[in-house]
Amino acid sequence: MATPRSSSATSWHPTEYLRILYKRRWVAIPGFLVVFLTGAISSLRTTPLYEATTQIQIEQDARRATSIDSVLADRSSWYDDSFYPTQYRILQSRDLALRAVAELGRQNIVERTPPARLSLNPTQLVWMAVAGIKDLMAKPAVPAAAADADLPEGVPAGALAKAARLQGELTVVPVRTSSLVELQLRSPDAEFAARAVNIIADEYIKRSLEMRVDASKEASDWLSKTLGEQRKKCEASDLALQAFKEQNHVVSVDDKQNITNQKLTALNQQLIDARIARYDKEANYNQLLDLRAKGLPLDSFPAVMSADFVQKLKTELLSEEAKQDDLRKQGFGENYAPLKALTAQVADTKQRLNAEIDKVVESVRTEFEAAKEKEDAMSRALEAQKGESIGLDRKAMEYAALQREADGNRQLYETLLQRTKETGVSNEFRGTNIQVVDKAVIPTGPVLPNTPRDLVIAGAGGLALGLFLAFGFEYFDSRIKSPEEIKTHLGLPFLGMIPTVAGADAHPEAPMLVENAPPAFGEAIRAIRTSVLFSSTDEGARAVLVTSTGPHEGKTVVSSSLAITLAQAGLRTLVVDADLRRPRLHEAMSVPQEPGLSNVLVGELGAPEAVRQTSVEHLSVLAAGHIPPNPAELLGSPKYIALFEDLKRRFDWIVIDAPPVMPVTDAAIISRLASGVLFVIGAEMTPRQSALTAIEHLQSANAKFVGAVLNRVNVHRHAYYYSPYYRKDYAKYYQRSAKGA
C-alpha cells in the first residue's frame, strides 16, 4: 500500500510546455490574434509619413563676434557643457517654430494631408469613441483667435497650433563626437517635410545672427555710456592727485620718505651706541662706589691704575716706605731726624695719592653723567624723527591711495576704449558659426508605417501575451489535470486514466463495462483492476473502498466498473453502496434500492436477503437501502463491522462505493476496514488543496491507499496534452481487435 506525501519533485521535460500551450490554446490564440490584428490594422490604416533631414554644423566660436563677453567675463570661461544642449532646445523652441510658420506662410507653403488608407472599421469607431470621451473630459481649449491675438505682426492666424505641430514633428539628432546636428521632420507631405525643415534651419541661422547683432549693439551702447562715465572718473582722480601734491609741496613722496628712513636708522644706531657707552660708564662708577663703601683700596681699580700720576705717586710711596723700613731695621728710633723726616714725607705722599684717586673717581662720575645726557639726547632726537616719519607715512598713504585710484581709472578707461573700438568693428561683421552642411531633399519613400516591422512587433507582442495567458492560467489553475500532478502534489501512485465517453452525460453514473462499452474505457478499467490486484497482498477476501474529494467525480462509475472487471476475472465480487445519503449504485446496476445496507444494519433482515445477484456472472450487489437519518452512526456501529467480516468470508473481493470525503465523514469512518482506498479524481474538477485535505482526513483514520485514478479525462479535446498516456492509435487498435474477435 502507498503512503501519500504532500509534494515531491519530478523531472520536467520541455514537452510539458508544449502540452500546456496545446491545452490552453483557446486562451492563448485569441490573445495572440487580438494583439496581432490590432497592430496589423493600426499599421495598415496609418497615414504614410515622410522624413526629411537637414544637417547643420554649430561651432562654439560664434559668440566671439560679440564683444560683450570680453567686457563681462573671460572668454575661456564662457563656454561649458551646456552650450550644445541649449542650442538643441532652441531648435525645438516655440519661437523658432513660429518664425518657421511665418516664413512658410510668406512662401505660401501648405502641408497636404492624403486621405486615410482604410475606411472606418470597428476598431476605428472604438478609438473615435475613446477620443470623444477624452475631449469631453478635457479642459476647454483656448480659442485660436484669442491665442493668436498676442502674436507678433506677420505671423498668420492659427500659428500656435501649426507651430506646436512643427515642434512635435521635428527631431534634433546630434551626431556623436562632432559639431554636426541633424534636423529631422516627418510629415504626410514629402515636399512639405523637405521645405519646412530647410526653412527651420534657415530661421535658426537668422535668429542666431539677430541675437549676435542685438548683443553687439547692446554691448556697444553700454560701452559708450560706461566710457563717458569712466572718463569723468579718470579726470576727477587726476585732479585730486594734483591738488594733494600742491597742498603738501610734494614732488616725490618716495624720495623724501627714503631720506627720512635713513635718518631714522642712523639715529637709532647712535642711540644704541650711546646706551652701550652709558652702560659701561655707569658700571665703572658703581664699582668705584661699591669699593669705597666697603672700605677697600681704590688703587686696584682699572681707571685708577691707568692714571700715570697715580702710579708715579705709588712708586714714590713704595720707595719712601722701603727706606723707612731700612732705617728702622738699623735700629734707629722714631726721633731719629732722617727717619722722622722720611715719615713726614711718606705721609705727604699718601695724602697726594688719595687726592689723585679722588680726582679719578670724580672723572669717572663725570663721564657717566655725560654718557647719560648723550643717551637722553639721542632718545629725544629719535622720537622726534619717528614723529616726522609717521606723518610722512600718513601722507604717503594718502598719496598712494590717490595714485592707485587715478591709475585704476585710467587703466579701466583705456580698456573700455579698446573694447569700444573692437565692438564697433564687430558690429560690421555678419558671419555666423552655423552652416548648413546638407540641405534636405524630397524623400522618395515613407518611413512610417513600416508594415513588415509592425507585423513582426505585433506578432511578438501577441505571442508574448498568448504565452503569458497560457502559462498564467495554468499557474493559477490549481485543479488536478494530469497524472504528474497526482504523483507530484498528492504523492499517490497513479493507477490509470479513464477517458470520458461521448453520451455519458445522459447517464453519468452508469457502468461502462456492459454491452457496447467503448474499448478505451474498458481497457482503462482493466488496467486499474490489474493495479488493484497486484497492490493487495492480504490473504482471503480483499476489500477496496472507492471514494473521491467531492461529488460528481465519477466514483460510482469507477466502483461499479471495477466490480464488473473483477467478476469477469472469475472472482466472487460484491459491490456495496455505502453512500447512505445520496445512493446511486442501484441505478448503475439496475437493481432496487431497498432492501439494502441500511436495512441490514438496523436489523430488519439478514445480509443474504439484501444481497442480489446481477446479470454479470460472479457479481453481486448490496444496495444502500432506505436512507437513514443517522448514516455515520450506522456505518460506525459494531453491526457494520460484523456485517463486513461476514461478507469477507463469502466473497473474494468487496468493492465499497463510499460517499465523498469532504462533504461527510462516512468515508473516513469505514476506510479503516478496507484493504485499501482507491481515490478517484475528476480531471479539471478537483483543486489540489481540496484533494490533499481529503487525503489527510483519510490518513487520520489510518486508511491505506491503493492509488489514485484520474477520471473523466477529455483525451480527444486535449489529445496532445495527454499523449504520453493515451493516443488515438490505441483506440483504433482496440477497435480492430474487437472486430477481429
Report CA torsion sign: 501, 507, 510, 514: negative
Residue 47, phi-psi category: left (phi > 0), alpha (psi -120 to 50), beta (remainder)? beta
Task: Identify which has the larger pLDDT, 280 or 201.
Answer: 201
- 253-426 has CATH 1.20.950 classification: no
How many other C-beta atoms lie within 10 A of the C-beta of residue 1? 15
Q: Could you give the residue ranges of the DSSP H alpha helices within 490-554?
A: 519-535
DSSP state letter for 150: G
Q: Which whole-number Å values give the CA distances from 255 to 261, 361, 384, 697, in the listed order?
A: 10, 49, 20, 121
Q: Decide: residue 29, CB within 10 A, 0-12 exposed, 13-18 middle, 19+ buried.
A: middle
Amino acid at 612: R
Instruction: Identify the bridge partners of residue 136 per DSSP, sorted by sequence position.
Output: none
Q: Which whole-number Å values give the CA distances from 402 to 14, 234, 395, in the listed order?
A: 96, 11, 11
Amino acid at 187: S
CA pair distance 695, 175, nearest whole angstrom: 70
Predicted pLDDT of residue 197: 92
Residue pLDDT, tens place only, 399-438: 777 777 778 778 877 887 777 777 666 555 556 788 899 9
CA pair distance 578, 631, nearest whole angstrom: 9
DSSP state letter for 270: H
Torsion of CA 282, 285, 288, 293, to 10 degrees: -80
Residue pLDDT, tens place only, 635-652: 888 898 888 888 888 898
DSSP state letter for 623: -
Q: Which of 87-91, 181-185, 501-505, 666-670 has the lowest mean pLDDT?
A: 501-505
Predicted pLDDT of residue 310: 72
* Radius of gyration in angstroms for the set of CA atoms belonging to the chain, rounded to a whole number: 65
Q: Which whole-number Å values give the CA distances from 3 to 484, 534, 656, 673, 687, in the listed order?
A: 17, 16, 20, 17, 20
Please say whether the beta carbons of 577 and 596 come within 8 A: yes
Predicted pLDDT of residue 89: 92
Structure confidence at residue 55 as a pLDDT band (50, 70, 90): very high
> If one looks up domain 478-504+513-740 in CATH, what number appears?
3.40.50.300
Residue 245 pLDDT exceeds 90: no
Residue 671 pLDDT exceeds 60: yes
User: Which residue, chain included where needed, has cell 453512500?
Assistant: 579
Amino acid at 191: E
Q: Which of 89-98, 135-144, 361-370, 440-449 has the lowest mean pLDDT?
A: 135-144
Q: Average of pLDDT values for 106-115?
A: 82
Residue pLDDT, tens place only, 185-233: 998 898 998 999 999 999 999 988 888 777 777 777 777 888 788 788 8
Task: Identify which has the larger pLDDT, 574 or 338.
Answer: 574
Please say whether the beta carbons of 655 and 556 come within 8 A: no
Pairing of strands 50-58, 434-438: antiparallel
Amino acid at 6: S
Residues of the chain above pLDDT 90, percent:
8
How many other C-beta atoms lie within 10 A of the C-beta of residue 722? 24
Residue 642, phi-psi category: left (phi > 0), alpha (psi -120 to 50), beta (remainder)? alpha
Predicted pLDDT of residue 174: 93
Torsion of CA 467, 470, 475, 478, to 10 degrees: -170
pTM tops 0.75 = no
**First and final C-alpha spacing in the chain:** 37
Give the full edge-to-edge strand order of the sheet including 676-682: 494-499, 705-713, 676-682, 542-548, 653-657, 573-577, 619-622, 612-613
User: Which residue, chain included where needed, has cell 473474494?
Assistant: 652
Predicted pLDDT of residue 716: 67
Predicted pLDDT of residue 18: 75
Please say whether the beta carbons of 574 and 543 come within 8 A: no
Q: Average of pLDDT values for 146-160?
A: 59
Fold identical between 253-426 and 478-504+513-740?
no
Q: Average of pLDDT values for 591-610?
A: 86
Task: Identify which has the larger pLDDT, 680 or 349.
Answer: 680
Domain extent listing, the chain = 20-220+434-454, 253-426, 478-504+513-740
Predicted pLDDT of residue 298: 62
Residue pLDDT, tens place only, 707-732: 888 888 876 665 555 655 655 555 55
| Average pLDDT value over all residues in the chain | 77
Q: Rounded to a whole number, what is the largest CA-CA distance in the chain? A: 204
Predicted pLDDT of residue 201: 92
